[in-house]
Structure 1
Amino acid sequence: MQAARWLSSTSARTLQETTSTLQAVAEEWLSHQAGRWEANTLARTRASLEADVFPALGSTPIAEITTRQVMEVVKKIEARGAGEIAMRVLQRIKAIYRYATTHQHIDRNPMGDLVPSEILKPRRVQHRAALGPADLPEFLSKLDAYQGDPHTVHALRLLMLTAARPGEIRSACWTEFDLAAKLWRIPAERMKMRTEHVVPLSAQAIAVVESMKPMSGHRDLVFPSPFYPSKPLSENTFNSAMARMGYKYLATAHGFRALFSTVANEAGWNADAIERQLAHAERDQVRAAYDRGSRLPERVKLMEWWANYLDSRRVGKVVPLHQLAA
């Protein structure tokens, strides 16, 4: 009887392994991730699998795919000059196999020992182009004189004053702002790390938000598209405006975060407070819980200092950083 049950379970498992193709398990994995990922992240991940993995391996039972086949797929991507995509595809395949093992599509994970650095060539990390402190007077002058859409101008100003990500600014809603408390609470579902982010607002940042009330105070979005008011500013809006100001290839909107980090660190502000302001995840969960409760008062002072620093650079004034931080 026990032997019969063992044979029955073994046969069922073998049948599952031979009928569970890589594409079928990948679709199951994607559905599992849908609740925790942003729609564009899910779409990008699916698109990369459809373009580079499914044509070669999608119809193959997941248990029959070898590490050599996976290596051939990612090295083919790398050969066309897409090293970053090759790295991400390999990571996604490994994640699919971990899911398949956990959910008993396969008995063991043959991809667990694949090490990206042993398969793909080293890549030179390219950071987003960013302004330096010395570039600020000219940029701020050009921003003040910019004749483009006022939604974009004010959004760029708030982007600089808060060190938020461009996407967080573009989709900001009026319900997230408590101007009396001088706080902007970005909900978890809009954050990269899926954790609510509280942003202290300087007097200058509040003035920018207040200036939007006549233009969008009757809408959900603070910075709606001037063409489709129910939608936020488009993803390329900020960089397109900067290109028209003469900064194409020289700086990106995301680069303001790097500028803020550089200047604040050089001025001697606490590194943990700076990282919390940038909404960078703390790997230590105990420390992360502590930081959420203890860094806000320091970040209030930090962002007031940062706004005053930007004002000083607007008029070309050179003030020692330690003097500003005092």
Structure 2
Amino acid sequence: MPGKLTDTAIRGAKPREKAYKLTDGGGLYLEVAPSGGKWWRIKYRFAGKEKRLSLGVYPAVGLREARARLETMKETLRQGIDPGEQRKAQKAEAVVQGQTFEMVAREWHQKKLAAWTPKHAQQIIRRLENLAFPDLGSRSIAELGAPDFLAVLHKVEQQGHLETARRLAQICGQVTRYARLSGMVATDAASHLSEALSAKPVRHHASITDPQEIGALLRAIDDYPGDVSISFALKILPYVFVRSSELRGATWAEIDLDKAEWLIPAERMKMRRPHFVPLARQVVALLRALHNLTGNRELVFPGTASASRCISDMGLLNALRRMGYGRDEMTVHGFRSMASTRLNEMGYRPDVIEAQLAHAEKNSIRNAYNRAQYLPERRTMMQEWADYLDSLRAG
């Protein structure tokens, strides 16, 4: 018999201050956590005791599959077997036969922490916990084959999350590669899984690159009447074209206005290496003006709700929208594309541009010294770029 829930109701369920349940029937319910996570659970009785068991995370486990898992568990109960104890026994057997996928994945994740930003590390483990562990976590990694991983990935694809499926495939591939190199398994079962997935959709960050339109955008930013931190961040971003997170999280301790230098520490960089940003005269002037307002705080761009937290990426994006720039016209990341496109067209050396964009250097030895690479040329380029932007602003 169909339950009470529908996919529409589940998708529309919003998190509340406390966790709450959406009941489907037959002991099956969806628990919505304050964080927004949605967990399938079953409530059942065995030997006179009430018990609960997790059936996976929505949307990785859809409504139809959750009901199918419920029926499987009911059949287990009819056979006089406790599903919870059965699951424990299966996990124990997997450990005896060899390490489980979850055990190996968490070990791999722990070893990678030093090379990742906290945000990236959290994204990785959440994808594993929400999408891979429910189906694969308790199984011996030595017994898993490519079809097991593909079954999970295709499920994610069917939910419409094509890019997430590709990211998860990469993660699983790295985990099984680590297992092979560590001698836990003989073959890398999750290698090249992306080849069996749907074609990756081409996604570009909308960016303005036409000189006249750049000038109009800069004038719109100058006229923006919103929050001080947002306003100054948008004024500075075109000149420095760093990533949004690198600008928003800037501290005054990183910036030397007298030397016109900004050194972003490795822990705040995507590539986990320090990045040097020469500051043009225009940027120094803006930062000195902002220092009069926020210089007594640690953050250069503190948020309005709390001085201990920086402005958000959404705050910058909303400001662009209020200026009249739609999602297909300009994004926060688009300032990097703007600089890259124009500087290449203006004849600057691609290696110098890439170094200032803090893109990864393919040569690992050169990559280690990237912080100071092409520094004299980068200083010149950044000042000439700032003067060029001012000329466009002036029309």
TM-score with structure 2 setting the length: 0.73
State the shift of 1:69 in Å. 0.9
Q: Does 1:132 align with 2:209?
A: yes
Deviation at 1:294, TM superposition (A): 4.4
Query: Contact between 2:275 and 2:371, CA under 8 Å: does it hold in 1?
Result: no
Kindly indicate whether residue 75 of structure 2 is the aligned counterpart of residue 75 of structure 1: no
* Matches for 1:156-305 after TM superposition, within 5 Å: 156-249=234-327, 250-288=329-367, 292-305=371-384
In 2, Cα distance between equivalents of 1:154 and 1:216: 11
1:102-113 alignment, distance < 5 Å:
102-104=181-183, 106-111=184-189, 113=191
Q: What do residues 136-157 of structure 1 show as CA deviations (whole Å, max 9, x unaligned)? A: 1221221111110011111112
Shift of residue 16 of structure 1? 5.7
Correspondent of 1:58 among 126, 137, 152: 137
Q: Tell me the CA shift for residue 285 of structure 1.
A: 2.5
Secondary structure at 2:277's aligned position in 1? strand
**Offset at residue 293 of structure 1 (A):** 4.2
Contact 1:161 / 1:205 at 8 angstroms: preserved in 2? yes
- Paired letter, 1:27: R
Q: Does structure 1 conserve the Cα–Cα contact (< 8 Å) formed by 2:236 and 2:283?
A: yes
- Say whether the 8 Å CA contact 1:56–1:73 is kept in structure 2: yes
Q: What is the rounded CA distance, in whole Å, between the counterparts of 2:254 and 2:113 in structure 1?
A: 24
The alignment status of 1:149 with 2:224, answered yes or no, reads no
- 8 Å CA contact 2:262–2:276 kept in 1: the answer is yes
Higher mean alpha-carbon deviation, 41-50 vs 289-298, is at: 289-298
Equivalent pair of 2:264/2:276 in contact (CA under 8 Å): yes
Give the aligned length: 301
Query: How far apart are the structure 2 equivalents of 1:186 and 1:103?
Result: 35
**1:17 Cα deviation after fit:** 6.4
CA contact (8 A) 2:156 2:162 kept: yes
Equivalent in the alignment of 1:100: 179
Shift in CA distance, 289/43, structure 1 to aligned 2, threshold 3 Å: closer
Equivalent of 1:29, from 90, 108, 117? 108
**Kindly tell me: are residues 17 and 208 of structure 1, through their superposed partners in 2, closer, same or farther at Cα, counting changes over 3 Å?**
farther
Q: What residue ranges of structure 1 are gaps of 5+ in the alignment?
A: 1-13, 317-326
Q: Deviation per CA, 1:221-249, whole angstroms, max 9, x where unpaired?
A: 11111220011112311111111111131
Separation in 2 of the partners of 1:124 and 1:308? 37
Work out whether residues 177 and 191 of structure 2, in 8 Å CA contact, stay in contact via their aligned partners in 1: no
* Larger relative strand fraction: 2
Secondary structure of 1:161's counterpart equals: helix
SS at match of 2:207: coil
After the TM superposition, which of the residue ranges 235-244 and 74-83 deviates more from structure 2? 74-83
Cα 1:15–1:310 change in 2 (3 A) is closer
Q: Is the 8 A contact 2:95 2:140 kept in 1?
A: no
Looking at structure 2, the residues matched to 246 and 82 of structure 1 have their Cα atoms a distance apart, in angstroms, of: 29
Q: 2:120 & 2:313 partners in 1: Cα distance?
A: 14
Q: Is the 8 A contact 1:170 1:232 kept in 2?
A: yes
**How far apart are 1:292 and its partner, in Å?**
4.6
Letter in 1 for 2:335: F
Q: Do 1:67 and 1:114's aligned partners in 2 also have CA atoms closer than 8 Å?
A: no
Name the SS for the 1:184 alignment partner. Answer: strand
Structure 1 residue 289: deviation in Å?
Answer: 5.3
Q: Hey, what's the Cα distance between the residues in 1 that align with 2:308 and 2:190? A: 45
User: Quick one: structure 1 residues 290 and 27, their matched pair in 2 at CA, closer, same or farther if it must change by over 3 Å?
Assistant: closer
Q: Which SS does the other structure have where 2:361 is aligned? A: coil
| Match in the other structure for 1:313 | 392
The structural deviation recorded for 1:252 is 0.6
Distance of 1:235 and 1:291 partners within structure 2: 27
Larger deviation: 181-190 or 119-128? 119-128
Q: Distance in 1 between matches of 2:173 and 2:128?
A: 12
Deviates more, 1:31-40 or 1:182-191: 31-40
CA deviation profile, 1:184-222 (whole Å, cap 9, x unmatched) = 000011100011100000000111111111111111111
Computed over aligned residues only, the root mean square deviation of the Cα atoms, in angstroms, reads: 1.8
Contact 1:183/1:200 (8 A) holds in 2:
yes
Report the alpha carbon displacement of residue 127 of structure 1 after superposing the two structures with TM: 0.9
**Distance between the aligned counterparts of 2:188 and 2:356, measured in 1?**
41
Q: 1:115 Cα deviation (Å)?
A: 4.5
The answer (yes or no) to whether the contact 2:169–2:193 under 8 Å persists in 1 is: no
Alignment correspondent of 1:122: 199
Q: 1:17 touches 1:63 (CA, 8 Å); kept in 2?
A: no
